[in-house]
Amino acid sequence: MSTIIYLYNSQIQIAVGKTSASPGKVRLNNIYTFTAPEGSIINGVITDIDALRTGLMSFINMNQIPVKDTIVLIESSKISGKLIEVPKLNEHKTLEFCIREFADTGRTREDSTFCYTELRPSGDSKLRKVFAEAIPKEMLRDIADLFKPMGINLKGVYSHEGKILNMLDVTVARRFKSFSVHMINDNNMSNFLWDNGSYDFHNGQRFFNAIGTNEFYDETSRYFRQIKQFMEVRSKEDHREMIFYTGVTEEEYKYYDRDNKEQGINHFSQVLDLNLTKNRELHDKANIAICAVSGLFETHRMSDFIVNSKAEASSKKDSDQAFIIKSAILTAIIFAVLLIGAIVSILFKAGAKTSFFTLYDYNNSPAMLDQLKQYDETMEENAKLSGQLYAIDKVREDVATYPVATDDVISIIRVCAAGYASVEITGFDAEAGSLDLTAKAAEVDMIKEYIYRLMDEKIFSDVHYTGYHFDESTQLWNIDVTCTLAESAGR
């Protein structure tokens, strides 16, 4: 029996169940929801470890939740993820390949632990698809420090994103080649797309409208339709066989389905049902706590942060032992050299005086002094050239960090605008890395939504905009926006 604890914000989900030998088959026993002490965990970061530990331990004991096989799922924007196509390599080389792919993000072995979740490739591709992730080591240590005093030895620590992708890959993707899954988890919304038999795309966003209000449902419904807009931007045909919703009630599902039909999206749809239990009440709880439930589906061992963290520690220990052995050998060699040197010194001491005076006369001869002067002048010239070369290299490095307004950057701007506003790019300042654009829409709220979407894009370090003004000639609201690109964006 395994216990899955999902950590993100105040609503902590706990799923208890058992996996089977068949891929994608899980038996669910119970679902629990625990409200963490206020301010003890934010965005997956533990901010008050004592309060969280006390509250969680009390809840586990009160409900007699088994902890022998405990797995933690962590969700946080501090965890980086990338979909990577990898040649057929062994586990170690695959992980090394993935780590190199994070070089442009600044993540290294010094500050992060890496893992990857293997997904099914498309068609007969010779490349494998893996979802690689990096978690700050400090965050991993905090998770261990949270549970160790409770007497809980964690069986594994996984990313929530990797587990969700694995769950969909071993369940829904075995029945449908093309489909989308739309998930609500508290105020977090996520879209997942499988196309032609393999995972293609997913995104997520947090909303701040109160759950259950009309504004919340309108906002989430528009966000779910981004899958359609994503396909249109990439000129892909929308041939989804099914649209799934999870984290929603039956009434909420009917609202989203009706809204799709009104927007001309006529695919079959249903609430995601993974046949985890015959108990209807538990089934409904599992639909809401889908993040914790995903942890019950087994994955490749290299998707476990703990496995890779232990491998790093073992590698460091072996490296330290090898260093000690090499140091001992080097010390012995140095001692032998010193001993031989001492013997040679004694043997040549008698003839040293004669050799000294001969060398002194040679070094002070006019020809030798002239050669030394030329050497000093050459070294001075070389130092000047080296300084100039360094300055040129520094300029190249600085230029390489300048953002570039590539087609991909322009495409993101247009994707964000799809369904909200029309956009005209009016200028680009390469030195400042800023794009100027004008957005136009019939309603102010549509422009506002567009601005919010731009702010959520990681390629922009800042989004600045002027006030709205109404253009009588076009009968549209206009706003001027300046998007400052993040360092190295577009490269």
Residues 31 and 152 reside in one and the same domain: yes
**Angle subtended at Cα 100 by Cα 95 and Cα 101, rounded to the nearest 5 degrees:** 95
CB 188 within 8 A of CB 206: yes
Closest to 79 (Cα-Cα) out of 104, 97, 105: 105
Residues 138 and 35 reside in one and the same domain: yes
277: which residues sit within 8 A by CB, 6+ positions away?
Answer: 27, 28, 283, 286
Mean pLDDT of 240-269: 91
pLDDT, one tens digit per residue, over 435-481 is 888 999 988 888 888 888 888 888 888 888 877 788 888 889 898 99
Final residue belonging to a domain, choices 385, 400, 415: 400
**pLDDT in the model for residue 347:** 62
d(CA 443, CA 421): 9
Strands (E), 302-391: none
Which H or E element spans position 305?
helix 305-363
Burial 415-440 (b: 16+ CB within 10 A, else e): bbbbbbbebeeeebeeeebbbebebb
**pLDDT in the model for residue 405:** 77
477: which residues sit within 8 A by CB, 6+ positions away?
Answer: 440, 441, 442, 443, 444, 447, 468, 469, 470, 471
Residues 103 and 1 reside in one and the same domain: yes
Residues 445 and 424 reside in one and the same domain: yes
Q: Give me the number of domains the chain comprises.
A: 4
- Can you read off the two tokens belonging to residue 435? 């794009």
Residue 143 is part of which domain span? 1-171+299-303
Give domain status of residue 344, yes or no. yes
Strands (E), 351-468: 422-429, 434-441, 460-465
Number of H helices, E strands in the chain: 13, 20
Cα–Cα distances (Å) from 161 to 131, 146, 315, 377, in that order, read 9, 22, 27, 63
Give domain status of residue 127, yes or no. yes
Burial of 121 (0-12, 13-18, 19+ CB in 10 A): middle
**pLDDT in the model for residue 104:** 85
**pLDDT in the model for residue 152:** 93
State the pairing for strand pair 80-86/69-74.
unpaired
Residues of the chain with pLDDT > 90: what percent?
Answer: 37
CATH number of the domain that 197 lies in? Answer: 3.30.420.40
Give domain status of residue 291, yes or no. no
Mean pLDDT of 142-164: 93
Using the predicted structure, report yes or no on whether residue 410 has a pLDDT greater than 70. yes
- Higher pLDDT, residue 385 or 425: 425
Residues 180 and 166 reside in one and the same domain: no
State the pairing for strand pair 242-246/179-185.
parallel
CB 468 within 8 A of CB 479: yes
Residues 34 and 121 reside in one and the same domain: yes
**pLDDT in the model for residue 140:** 93
Using the predicted structure, report yes or no on whether residue 27 has a pLDDT greater than 60. yes
**pLDDT in the model for residue 316:** 47
Residues 426 and 317 reside in one and the same domain: no
Residues 136 and 35 reside in one and the same domain: yes
Place of tokens 């309060």: 51
- CA torsion sign, 175 to 270 to 188 to 258? positive
Residues of the chain with pLDDT > 70: what percent?
Answer: 89
Amino acid found at 364 = N
Task: Return the percent helix, strand and coil in the chain, to nearest 5.
Answer: 45, 25, 30
201-205, 353-357, 359-363: the lowest-pLDDT one: 353-357
200-214, 249-263, 436-450: the lowest-pLDDT one: 200-214
d(CA 56, CA 485): 42
pLDDT, one tens digit per residue, over 222-237 is 888 888 888 888 888 8
CB 252 within 8 A of CB 220: no
CB 219 within 8 A of CB 452: no
Using the predicted structure, report yes or no on whether residue 195 has a pLDDT greater than 60. yes
Q: How far apart are the first and last CA of the chain?
A: 47
Residues 103 and 5 reside in one and the same domain: yes
Using the predicted structure, report yes or no on whether residue 352 has a pLDDT greater than 60. no
Final residue belonging to a domain, choices 375, 400, 425: 400
Give domain status of residue 381, yes or no. yes
Side by side, the strands of the sheet bearing 11-19 are 26-35, 11-19, 2-7, 69-74, 156-159
114: which residues sit within 8 A by CB, 6+ positions away?
Answer: 95, 98, 99, 102, 107, 132, 133, 134, 308
Give domain status of residue 294, yes or no. no
pLDDT, one tens digit per residue, over 431-445 is 778 888 899 998 888
State the pairing for strand pair 242-246/269-271.
parallel
Residues 145 and 218 reside in one and the same domain: no
- Higher pLDDT, residue 294 or 377: 294
d(CA 43, CA 46): 8
Which of the listed ranges 6-10, 347-351, 364-368, 397-401 does the model predict with the highest average pLDDT?
Answer: 6-10
Side-chain half-sphere CA neighbours of 232 within 13 A? 12
Residue 483 sits at φ, ψ, to 5 deg, of: -105, 115
- Can you read off the two tokens belonging to residue 65? 């939740």
Give domain status of residue 279, yes or no. no
Residues 159 and 180 reside in one and the same domain: no
CATH number of the domain that 89 lies in? Answer: 3.30.420
Give domain status of residue 490, yes or no. no
**pLDDT in the model for residue 356:** 63
Final residue belonging to a domain, choices 377, 400, 423: 400
Residues 163 and 71 reside in one and the same domain: yes
Cα–Cα distances (Å) from 89 to 92, 131, 373, in that order, read 8, 15, 59
pLDDT, one tens digit per residue, over 356-402 is 667 667 777 787 777 878 888 887 777 777 777 776 776 676 666 66
Give domain status of residue 293, yes or no. no
- Can you read off the two tokens belonging to residue 324? 């000690």
CATH number of the domain that 412 lies in? Answer: 3.30.1360.100
